[in-house]
Structure 1
Amino acid sequence: MFGYTEAEIAGFGLTFGVGAFMLYMLFIIGQLAWESKAGKFGTFVLFLGLAFGMVGFAAKFVIQWLLEK
Structure 2
Amino acid sequence: MDGDPIIFGLTIAEFEDYSLKILLTALILYMLFIIGNLAKESKAGRYGTVWLFIALGLGFVGFISKSFIQKFLGIE
Does residue 1:7 correspond to 2:7, yes or no?
A: no
Q: Match for residue 60 of structure 1?
A: 66
Give the structure-1-normalised TM-score: 0.87
- Structure number with bigger Rg: 2
Report deviation, 1:67: 2.1
TM-score for both structures, normalised by structure 2: 0.80
Task: Compare the two structures and name the one with the higher helix fraction.
Answer: 1
Q: CA deviation at 1:3?
A: 2.4
Instruction: Name stretches of at least 5 consecutive residues in structure 1 with no aligned partner.
Output: none
C-alpha distance in 2 between matches for 1:2 and 1:51? 33
Tell me the equivalent position of 2:3: none
**Structure 2 Cα separation of the partners of residues 23 and 31 of structure 1:** 12
- After superposition, the CA RMSD in angstroms is 1.1
Residue identity matched to 1:37: K
Map 1:1-69 to 2 at 5 A. 1-68=7-74
Structure with the higher strand share, 1 or 2: 2
Moved over 4 A (4+): none
Q: How many residues align?
A: 68
The one-letter code matched in structure 2 to 1:33 is A
| Aligned-pair identity (%) | 51
